[in-house]
Structure 1
């Protein structure tokens, strides 16, 4: 097991890519069970493979499961930080080169704490994460207020759904709620039969949104993932499907490339340098 000093040294060391600040990408859904956490983990994996320093923040308080998907042991989590039993640095898990997990807590006890305390403790210790190129925020499902705070502050919000009527309805509800504070939203269609089905489902959602959402909204399809035994098998084996050379990986790389292009354009438009600590400072101010 890598000791704490080495782990932090790897995180703080300079990457070969110029550090332009941290990009914040929220992966969310209206309904659970649509593959949101799998998308988050594999997005982090692809970015890390390309030399970016990536943090995966398991913000699904009460149902955190990224440690299970990544096949790592989370001995400490946010609950231990809240109890002052450890620091944020102690919670970090180096999954692989350039990829770190900030684990959440899968039990209900964390819900007994005031949310503001969570973010205040992060803020006091957050500078260790300011060298990240990306923070991928795996939110809970649904339209709760705390989830919306994360979404509003993210550079990009990706709404994940599958071509199931209930999931589509909940995805639309998420889009409608988020449109009050976000003018640009992305969609990712997971577990579709083919590209035609992805385009059809997205087209229907976009039409309904155009008619019923009164706020200015640009809704764009980031990409899709076809139904794949490689993906379902990787989940069972607790591996990342993007570690294998498959059609699913090719589809995923295509949507990651599109996401990177969008974020690079935003860097050109926004001269301010964003950091993990500043991000959570703004989150705290909302409580």
Structure 2
């Protein structure tokens, strides 16, 4: 585990790849159905990246079921909806979870993208510059492919689709992949609660084979990793803590760290081949333009 953390810090120190010119990378964590561990994965992945030295924002975009405040055991008084209503500024709602990790609270209602007040949006975009120094924003989207979720998936740089070894969850995950393939030719999959690596690879290969037959060769689907079914994860959920912090030597903690490493390597490659500069304000502007 110490080697994993050392590798993460080493990657963070390579400023020529991700940190020389601040470019925020937007990673949307999504799923076909609820209950597959999407939010828990989002929180732990964000925490691992933050402990590796990256500046990370965790955006709760699960419209209708925003719950990252519960998972992180923090009190949330106001959220993005209050900002968009003009009731407070963006800086008022940000919650510092750790030195490099900031929670951007979403709303548990469905109004967050319904406000079209031009003045408030312009003010919001101006205020959003306070988050432009982040290296990553992990977006915990809603389950399924509803209108709001699709907006976040389209605007994100990368999509990670989470599923578990359950026929209904796998079917719904494939539906998300198929719809998202209209605007994202590259997607990642993450298998959660698996018995072992072989089970994860078998499920992924089946999904990939169906996708190749029905969606076509234009889709590049890649398994970014898998998390084993482990009591450490369920225990952390009950105690409102993060398993990657509570039990750093557990198998899921080692696996989520490796997933973070794979993600960093992928992002590094994209930067090296040339990628447009990105920021929170430009990301949210894309959301507004789509709505």
Q: Unaligned stretches of 5+ in structure 1? A: 1-15
Q: Does 1:90 align with 2:82?
A: no
Residue 285 of structure 1 is aligned with which of 258, 265, 289?
289
- Counting matched residue pairs gives 270
Q: Does the CA contact (< 8 Å) of 2:194 and 2:227 recur in 1?
A: yes
Q: What does residue 55 of structure 1 align with?
A: 57
Q: Secondary structure at the match of 2:60?
A: strand
Residue 247 of structure 1 is aligned with which of 242, 251, 262?
251
Q: What does residue 137 of structure 1 align with?
A: 139
Aligned equivalents of 2:115, 2:164: Cα separation in 1:
31
Q: What does residue 4 of structure 1 align with?
A: none
Shift of 1:19: 4.4
Q: Does the CA contact (< 8 Å) of 2:36 and 2:192 recur in 1?
A: yes
* 1:188/1:128 CA distance change after superposition, 3 Å: same
Q: Does 1:111 align with 2:111?
A: yes
Aligned equivalents of 1:187, 1:79: Cα separation in 2:
30
Q: Secondary structure at the match of 1:224?
A: strand
Residue 32 of structure 2 is aligned with which of 30, 38, 41?
30
Shift of 1:251: 1.0
* 1:172/1:122 CA distance change after superposition, 3 Å: farther
Q: What does residue 190 of structure 1 align with?
A: 192
Q: What does residue 6 of structure 2 align with?
A: none
User: Runs ≥4 in structure 1, deviation > 4 angstroms?
Assistant: 115-121
Shift of 1:97: 1.0
Q: Secondary structure at the match of 2:227?
A: strand
Residues 113-164 of structure 1 deviation map (CA, whole Å, 9 limit, x = unaligned): 6155596664232101000010001100111122122112212100000000
Q: Does 1:207 align with 2:197?
A: no
Q: Does 1:276 align with 2:280?
A: yes
Residues 235-275 of structure 1 deviation map (CA, whole Å, 9 limit, x = unaligned): 10000111122211111111111111001111112243211
Q: What does residue 21 of structure 1 align with?
A: 23
Q: What does residue 171 of structure 2 align with?
A: 169
TM-score, normalised with respect to structure 2 = 0.88
Q: What is the RMSD of the two structures over their aligned residues, measured on CA atoms?
A: 1.8
Q: Does the CA contact (< 8 Å) of 1:19 and 1:133 recur in 2?
A: no
Q: Does 1:44 align with 2:46?
A: yes
Q: Secondary structure at the match of 1:58?
A: strand
Shift of 1:81: 1.5
TM-score, normalised with respect to structure 1 = 0.89
Q: Does the CA contact (< 8 Å) of 1:62 and 1:111 recur in 2?
A: no
Q: Does the CA contact (< 8 Å) of 2:26 and 2:158 recur in 1?
A: yes
